[in-house]
Copies of this chain bind each other. A is one copy, B any other.
Amino acid sequence: MANWIWYPGDFEIYHGMCQNFDREERGFFWPAYWHIADCRHHVVFHASCRLEKETAFRVTAKGIGHVLVKWEEKAPSWFPEGQPFYLEKKYTIGEWISCPAKEIGIDVVIGNRTGLPCIYVEGEVIRSGKNWTVTDFAAPEVPVGWNDMYVRAQQDPQIFEYTQELCRPVSTERVNGGVLYDFGRELTADTLIKINGEERPDQVTLCYGESRTEALDTQLCYLKQVLEIPGKKDSVPAGCASGPEREADCGASPFGRWESGQRYHTKLRAFRYIFVPEGENASLVTVEALYKYVDFPKRSSFSCSDGLINRIWEVADTTFRLASGIFFLDGVKRDRWIWSGDAYQSYFINQYLFFDKDICKRTILALRGNDPVTEHINTIVDYSMYWIISLENYYNMSGDLDFIRMVYPRMESLLRYCMEQTDGQGFIYGREGDWIYIDWAELDKEGILCAEQQLLARSYEAVASVRRLLGLDAEEFDVRKEALLKNIRQFFWDEEKGAFIDSYQSGRRNVTRHANIFAVLFGYADEAETESILHKVLLNEEVAAITTPYFKFYELEALAKLGRFEVVMDTLKSYWGGMLERGADTFWEEYKPEQPEEEQYGMYGDKYGKSLCHAWGASPIYLLGRYCMGVRPTGTAYETFAVEPQLELFDSFSCSFPVNEGTVWMDWKDGVLDVYTDKDGGVLKAAGKEYTLERGKHIVVKGR
Contacts and interface: CB of A to CB of B under 8 A. Distances in A.
Interface string A78-114: 0000000000001111000000000000000111011
A21 B137 contact: no
A64 B21 contact: yes
Given A21-B111, A137-B375, A35 B42 contact: yes
A447 interface: no
Given A17-B113, A21-B111, A38-B41, A31 B64 contact: yes
Contact of A35 (B36, B114, B138, B251): B138
A30 B66 contact: yes
Nearest to A374: B138
Q: Sort chain A's interface into a size bin.
A: 35 or more
Contacts of A661: none
A65 interface: yes
Contact of A30 (B30, B34, B65, B115): B65
A18 interface: yes
Contacts of A41: 17, 36, 38
Contacts of A137: 33-36, 374-375, 379
A25 interface: yes
Contacts of A115: 114
A139 interface: yes
Contacts of A38: 38, 41, 113
Interface in A338-396: 372, 374-375, 379
Interface of A is mostly: loop
Contact of A109 (B31, B42, B374): B31
A65 B17 CA distance: 14
A522 interface: no
Interface in A167-206: none
Contacts of A17: 41, 113
A298 to B, nearest CB: 34
Nearest to A88: B605
Contacts of A44: 33
A137 B33 CA distance: 7
A64 B374 contact: no
A27 interface: yes
Interface in A92-149: 92-93, 109-111, 113-115, 136-139
Of A41, A65, A113, A139, the most chain B CB neighbours within 10 A belong to A113
A35 B113 contact: no
Nearest to A36: B42
A111 B31 contact: yes
Contact of A64 (B29, B64, B93): B29
B29 A66 contact: yes
Nearest to A107: B33
Most chain B beta-carbon contacts within 10 A, residue among A114, A137, A251? A137
Contacts of A34: 137
A278 to B, nearest CB: 22
A439 interface: no
A135 to B, nearest CB: 10
A414 B249 CA distance: 38
Contacts of A35: 42, 136-138
A470 interface: no
A97 B29 CA distance: 17
Contacts of A250: 64
Interface string A1-31: 0000000000000000110010001111111
B65 A29 contact: yes
B109 A33 contact: yes
A113 B41 CA distance: 12
B36 A109 contact: no
A28 B249 CA distance: 31
10 contacts: A28-B65, A28-B92, A29-B65, A31-B42, A34-B137, A35-B137, A114-B114, A137-B379, A138-B374, A138-B375
Give 7 nearest A-B pairs by CB, closest first: A31-B111, A138-B374, A114-B114, A29-B64, A28-B66, A35-B137, A28-B92
Given A17-B41, A28-B65, A114-B115, 19 more contacts: A28-B64, A28-B66, A28-B91, A29-B64, A29-B65, A29-B111, A31-B42, A31-B65, A31-B109, A33-B109, A33-B137, A35-B136, A36-B137, A38-B41, A38-B113, A64-B250, A92-B251, A113-B114, A372-B372
Interface of A: 17-18, 21, 25-31, 33-36, 38, 41-42, 44, 64-66, 90-93, 109-111, 113-115, 136-139, 249-251, 372, 374-375, 379
